[in-house]
């Protein structure tokens, strides 16, 4: 029933048709030329532009990333430096304060010591002067007392005898 | 998604067109006498585009399935819309001994060209009004996927540097073949790429472009030298004819591959449908003919894309071979020889 012989032997499947070849060529060339102008040109340029745009966007993004990383690194460096700086300042301030305190206390102590010693000196001086005064007073008093006693018991004859005996003694002893 | 639904609907309507006439002739099938089986075939035949004229002129003779299939596959000057009638295409006077009448396949070529021009003017217009920051939508997006595929995976990877100047031809040939293949799957349509004359013409274009590219790349001396394949002069008597034959086998392979693939699919679909008519059985129709025909139809949809891709890719490959690679091979072979 299925006359496969017709398909193969009639040669109609492979029969040349110059008219169809002509029309195919003409149609295809016209379509090619029109589409090249109307469609492929704009589409391909758009595709290329987009490709370039995407590439440049990627490049820009990487660039921005690098920049951001550099900025971040710089910032953290700055931060670390600032931290160190503030630490140093605080430490210095503390040191200075300590030093100042010790200085002040030392100075105060020295001052106090000095005042104390001065006071002691003065006291000593006063004491010495008072003693001197006392001594002269006592000596005066003693002299006055002795004068009074001596004045009361003084006897010219008796004294003369004593002095004579003494001269006697001296002259005998020299011999 | 939308396009897929359209194709599904196409297949569905085709099946309905096949099944409805069968249901109307249920009585004649019930009697199953040989005299009455012939009208059954005729009334079912309108479902197959192109079978109407064959059915009209032989009412008493039993229709041969092969004739109907061939009538559908082959080129002629009648455009048939089976249940509704047919359009006689005009016959033009011969020009320089060539019959340039408008035939069915010429009409299909023009329909395809019209569709291509409409679709791609719209797409191209959209791209003209678009700046680089906007993304394409709809048809433009769909076509961009195909164009970008041809541009990068077909042209750039096979031709290499300088692929841009071959792009318009490659994209056009891809779209042209693809649309021809798809239009052939629409009911009442005919597959222009299933005609060897059409595929031959396209292959000749590829051949011409390939040879021009080779001449431009190597110059005339290099082109002739290439025919010797860098062998010793004593071998030239064998090598040169082989190389010349090799030049022509490439377009011949392109021609036959596309033509045979597109024709074979249609013959299989029609044969599967005719199995049910030959065996006069609803069971065969429901269990074999219709499901298998739908399967082959879906396969044909895939083949439509595949063959367009293969033709384009081989064209690009031939151009690439003719321009860059063989030149290097030849050079290396020459260096190695001395």
ipTM score of the complex?
0.73
- Calculate ∠ Cα A139-A140-A144, nearest 5°: 115
- Give the gap in angstroms from C-alpha A20 to the nearest C-alpha of chain B: 6
Q: Which residues pair with B87 in a beta bridge?
A: B79
**Looking at the partner chain, which of A20, A32, A35 has a beta carbon nearest the beta carbon of B198?**
A20
- Give the gap in angstroms from C-alpha A19 to the nearest C-alpha of chain B: 4
Res A73 pLDDT > 90: yes
**Looking at the partner chain, which of B74, B143, B176 has a beta carbon nearest the beta carbon of A12?**
B74
- Give the gap in angstroms from C-alpha A71 to the nearest C-alpha of chain B: 29
What are the chain B neighbours of A2 within 8 Å (beta carbons)?
A: 64-66, 271, 274, 278
Q: Does A11 touch chain B (CB under 8 A)?
A: no
Closest residue, chain A, to B279 (C-alpha):
A1
Beta-carbon separation of B124 and A49 below 8 A: no
Res A155 pLDDT > 50: yes
Beta-carbon separation of B201 and A28 below 8 A: yes
Beta-carbon separation of A3 and B67 below 8 A: yes
Beta-carbon separation of B99 and A19 below 8 A: yes
Matching residue, tokens 């029933």: A1
Can you tell me the mean pLDDT for A83-96? 94
Beta-carbon separation of A53 and B132 below 8 A: yes
Beta-carbon separation of A47 and B151 below 8 A: yes
Q: Which residues pair with B88 in a beta bridge?
A: B78
Task: Provide the pLDDT for residue B22.
Answer: 55
Can you tell me the mean pLDDT for A37-58? 87
- B238 CB neighbour count, 10 Å cutoff: 10
Q: What's the mean per-residue pLDDT of chain A?
A: 87
Decide if A24 contacts B202 (C-beta within 8 A).
Answer: yes
Mutate to test the interface with B, among A43, A49, A55, A57 (most CBs of B within 10 A): A43
What are the chain A neighbours of B123 within 8 Å (beta carbons)?
A: 39, 43
For residue B276, the surrounding DSSP H or E stretch is: helix B236-279
What are the chain B neighbours of A10 within 8 Å (beta carbons)?
A: 70
**Looking at the partner chain, which of A17, A25, A28 has a beta carbon nearest the beta carbon of B176?**
A28
Task: Provide the pLDDT for residue A2.
Answer: 47
Mutate to test the interface with B, among A39, A45, A55, A57 (most CBs of B within 10 A): A39
For chain B, residues with pLDDT lower than 50 are 1, 25-61, 326-338
Can you tell me the mean pLDDT for A42-60? 88
CA distance B192 to B254: 15
Decide if A13 contacts B73 (C-beta within 8 A).
Answer: yes
CA distance B309 to B154: 8
Beta-carbon separation of A47 and B263 below 8 A: no
Mutate to test the interface with B, among A46, A52, A54, A57 (most CBs of B within 10 A): A46
Mutate to test the interface with A, among B72, B77, B109 (most CBs of A within 10 A): B109
CA distance A12 to B103: 15
Beta-strand ranges (E) seen in B75-224 are 78-81, 85-88
Q: Does A9 touch chain B (CB under 8 A)?
A: no
CA distance A126 to A149: 34
Between helices B65-73 and B236-279, what is the axis angle to 10°? 130
Task: Provide the pLDDT for residue B327.
Answer: 45
Pairing label, strands B85-88, B78-81: antiparallel
Q: What is the CA radius of gyration of chain B?
A: 25
CA distance A169 to B4: 175
H helical segments located in chain B? 2-24, 26-31, 34-44, 52-57, 65-73, 104-128, 138-149, 157-159, 167-185, 196-227, 236-279, 282-284, 290-320, 326-337
CA distance A72 to B115: 58
CA distance B42 to B56: 8
Buried b or exposed e, range B261-292, using 16+ CB within 10 angstroms: bbbebbbbbbbbbbbbbeeebeebbeebbbeb
Task: Provide the pLDDT for residue B23.
Answer: 54
Beta-carbon separation of A10 and B70 below 8 A: yes
Tokens, residue A25? 């060529």
* Alpha-carbon distances of B14 from B10, B21, B74, B218, B277, rounded to whole Å: 6, 12, 20, 53, 16
Mutate to test the interface with A, among B126, B169, B172 (most CBs of A within 10 A): B172
Beta-carbon separation of A35 and B148 below 8 A: no
Decide if B108 contacts B189 (C-beta within 8 A).
Answer: yes
Domain boundaries of chain A, sorted by first residue: 22-120
Closest residue, chain B, to A40 (C-alpha):
B168
Beta-carbon separation of A28 and B102 below 8 A: no
Res A27 pLDDT > 70: yes
Residue B150 half-sphere exposure, CB side, CA atoms within 13 Å? 30
What are the chain A neighbours of B167 within 8 Å (beta carbons)?
A: 40, 44
Beta-carbon separation of A3 and B66 below 8 A: yes
Task: Provide the pLDDT for residue A109.
Answer: 93
Res A1 pLDDT > 50: no
53-92 in chain A: CB under 8 A from chain B: 53
Decide if A49 contacts B156 (C-beta within 8 A).
Answer: no
Between helices A18-35 and B167-185, what is the axis angle to 10°? 120
Task: Provide the pLDDT for residue B202.
Answer: 92
SS3 B186: coil
Decide if A2 contacts B65 (C-beta within 8 A).
Answer: yes
A–B interface: beta-carbon pairs under 8 A: 144
Q: Which residues pair with B81 in a beta bridge?
A: B85
Res A123 pLDDT > 60: yes
pLDDT interval class at A59 (50, 70, 90): very high
């Amino acid at each position: 029933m299925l006359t496969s012989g017709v398909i193969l032997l009639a040669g109609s499947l492979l029969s040349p048709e110059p008219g169809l070849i002509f029309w195919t060529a003409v149609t295809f060339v016209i379509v090619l030329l029109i589409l090249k102008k109307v469609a492929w040109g704009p589409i391909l340029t758009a595709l290329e532009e987009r490709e370039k745009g995407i590439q440049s966007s990627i490049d820009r993004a990487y660039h921005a990333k690098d920049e951001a990383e550099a900025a971040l690194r710089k910032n953290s460096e700055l931060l670390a430096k600032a931290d160190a700086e503030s630490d140093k300042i605080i430490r210095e301030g503390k040191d200075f304060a300590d030093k100042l305190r010790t200085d002040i206390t030392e100075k105060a102590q020295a001052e106090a010591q000095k005042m104390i010693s001065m006071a002691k000196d003065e006291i000593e001086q006063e004491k010495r002067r008072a003693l001197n005064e006392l001594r002269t007073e006592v000596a005066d008093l003693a002299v006055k007392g002795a004068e009074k006693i001596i004045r009361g018991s003084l006897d010219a004859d008796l004294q003369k005898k004593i002095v004579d005996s003494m001269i006697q003694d001296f002259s005998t002893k020299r011999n | 998604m939308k396009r897929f639904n359209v194709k599904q609907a196409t297949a569905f309507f085709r099946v309905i067109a096949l099944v409805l006439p069968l249901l109307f002739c249920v009585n004649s099938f019930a009697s199953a006498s040989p005299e009455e089986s012939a009208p059954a075939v005729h009334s079912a035949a309108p479902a197959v585009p192109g079978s109407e004229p064959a059915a009209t002129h032989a009412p008493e003779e039993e229709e041969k399935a092969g004739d109907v299939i061939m009538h559908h596959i082959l080129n002629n000057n009648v455009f048939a819309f089976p249940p509704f009638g047919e359009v006689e295409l005009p016959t033009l006077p011969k020009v320089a001994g060539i019959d340039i009448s408008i035939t069915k396949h010429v009409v299909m070529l023009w329909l395809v060209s019209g569709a291509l021009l409409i679709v791609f003017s719209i797409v191209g217009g959209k791209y003209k009004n678009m700046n680089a920051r906007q993304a394409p939508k709809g048809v433009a997006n769909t076509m961009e996927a195909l164009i970008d595929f041809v541009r990068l995976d077909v042209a750039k990877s096979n031709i290499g540097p300088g692929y841009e100047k071959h792009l318009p031809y490659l994209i056009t040939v891809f779209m042209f073949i693809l649309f021809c293949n798809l239009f052939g799957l629409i009911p009442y349509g005919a597959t222009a790429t299933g005609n060897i004359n059409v595929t031959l013409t396209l292959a000749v274009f590829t051949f011409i472009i390939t040879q021009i590219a080779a001449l431009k790349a190597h110059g005339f001396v290099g082109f002739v030298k290439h025919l010797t394949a860098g062998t010793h002069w004593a071998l030239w008597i064998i090598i040169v004819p082989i190389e010349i034959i090799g030049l022509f086998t490439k377009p011949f392979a392109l021609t036959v591959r596309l033509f045979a693939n597109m024709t074979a699919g249609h013959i299989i679909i029609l044969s599967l449908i005719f199995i049910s008519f030959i065996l006069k059985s609803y069971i065969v129709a429901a269990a074999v003919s219709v499901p298998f025909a739908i399967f082959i139809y879906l396969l044909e949809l895939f083949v439509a894309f595949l063959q367009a891709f293969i033709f384009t890719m081989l064209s690009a490959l031939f151009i690439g071979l003719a321009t860059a690679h063989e030149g290097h091979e030849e050079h290396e072979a020459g260096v190695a020889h001395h």
